[in-house]
Each structure stands twice: as C-alpha cells, then as structure tokens.
C-alpha cells in the first residue's frame, strides 16, 4: 500500500525569530513510518520540524506551518491507500505575522490569532471509500468521549487516543484504538516502535 503519514508539530510565524508551536516531538509518527517501511509499504512521511532523522526508505516531505502541511497532504492524499494523521497541527496562527523582528515595547502585547485549516476534517470529508483514515487524539480529560466524538465528526475509520501526559516527549506511550463501530482496543504502555507495530496489527486484523 501507499501509506501517507503526518508527524510532529507545526510552527506558526509571529516574526522572523518567534513562532507558536506545541510539545509534539514526532516520535510516534516516525515510529509508525519505520514500521510501515518494515512491512514493505510505500511510505510518504510529511513532517513538521523535529529533532529526528527520517527513517530510511520513506519519501520525506519536510514542512513548517499548518498551511505547508495542508498543501503537502492535499498533494499526496489522492494516491494514498491509508492515511495516518499523527501530526499535532496548530489550530491557530498569528493573523498578522511581521517580516522584521518585533522590538520589546512597554506594556502588554496582544496577538490576534486566526484558525488554521482543519486538515483531518478536510481529508475525512473528501476521502474515497477505499481509503483508510486514521486520526490521533491527545487529550487531557475525558479521553474516550473526546476521541469517539472526533472519530465521528471527522469521518475517520480509526482513532488512536492517549492522554497528553502519557505520550508527548516520551519514548513510551499507552494508547487506545477505536474503530468507526466503536470497538475499543487498548494497547498498554510500551516503546513507541512496539506501539506502532501493534497499531498495524490491530488495524490489519479488524479492517
């Protein structure tokens, strides 16, 4: 299969030296890409800025902003059989980024933020019947309820859910997979490469 994987954070420019981002390291997405290559799939990895070396054998597409990632996903999604969207894409970006470094001024600074494109929802809306779409949900509370809601709203086939404290920045994780029928498949804490292996095993066995 051709598997499209997104990984890592995005950076949303404030000025040439400042940006808005998040704590995603890309480790889970890169582990999934390694496992997909090991299984013999044709892998396109679209990655935000991370301190990781791209796995051997992938078609690597580096991006920075949410807009960059959206453009790359829309370019490569039509040829994909499976899309695994593990990137932590910014929901908001500065509405008016500037081209020169902002100087410190007295008093408070207020940034106006605007919504970025919801890439996962867009892909879910436009996916073909023969495409398999896997999303991720990192939550701080009510994990199962939020994950199942996201699964339904964004027309996903599967969602991988975990608490933020379990996965972000760590080499291990514990997740729960849900499919569109509401079936639940917990994966206990282990290394992210083993998590990736189990994700493929479950999806392959059940889909």
Distance CA 73, CA 116 (A): 14
Q: Render each residue's pLDDT in the chain as its tens digit; 207 residues.
A: 999 999 999 999 999 999 999 999 999 999 999 999 999 999 999 999 999 999 999 999 999 999 999 999 999 999 999 999 999 999 999 999 999 999 999 999 999 999 999 999 999 999 999 999 999 999 999 999 999 999 999 999 999 999 887 657 788 889 999 999 989 999 999 999 999 999 999 999 987
Tokens of 84: 């695994």
Contact call for residues 36 and 11 (beta carbons, < 8 A) = no
| Burial (0-12, 13-18, 19+ Cβ within 10 Å), 114 | exposed
Q: Please report where in the chains the tokens 């494109």 appear, as a residue.
A: 117
Q: What is d(CA 173, CA 189) in angstroms, rounded to the nearest whole number?
A: 5
142 torsion bin: left (phi>0), alpha (psi -120 to 50), beta (else): left
Domain coordinates of the chain in residue numbers? 2-94+113-206
What is d(CA 125, CA 123) in angstroms, rounded to the nearest whole number? Answer: 5
Architecture of domain 2-94+113-206: 3-Layer(aba) Sandwich (3.40)
pLDDT in the model for residue 167: 57
22 in active site = yes
């Amino acid at each position: 299969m051709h598997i499209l994987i997104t990984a890592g954070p995005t950076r949303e420019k404030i000025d040439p030296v400042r940006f808005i981002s998040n704590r995603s390291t890309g480790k889970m997405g890169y582990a999934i890409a390694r496992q997909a290559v090991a299984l013999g799939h044709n892998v396109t990895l679209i990655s935000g800025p991370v301190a990781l070396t791209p796995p051997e054998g992938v078609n690597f597409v580096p991006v920075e902003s949410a807009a960059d990632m959206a453009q790359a996903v829309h370019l490569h999604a039509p040829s994909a059989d499976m899309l695994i969207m593990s990137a932590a894409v910014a929901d908001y970006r500065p509405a008016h980024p500037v081209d020169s470094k902002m100087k410190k001024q007295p008093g408070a600074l207020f940034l106006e933020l605007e919504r970025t494109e919801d890439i996962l929802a867009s892909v879910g809306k436009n996916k073909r019947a023969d495409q398999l779409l896997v999303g991720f949900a990192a939550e701080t509370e009510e994990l199962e309820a939020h994950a199942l809601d996201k699964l339904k709203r964004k027309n996903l086939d599967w969602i991988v859910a975990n608490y933020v404290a379990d996965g972000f920045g760590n080499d291990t994780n514990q997740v729960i997979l849900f499919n569109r029928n509401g079936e639940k498949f917990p994966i206990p804490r282990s290394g992210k490469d083993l998590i990736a292996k189990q994700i493929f095993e479950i999806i392959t066995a059940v889909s």
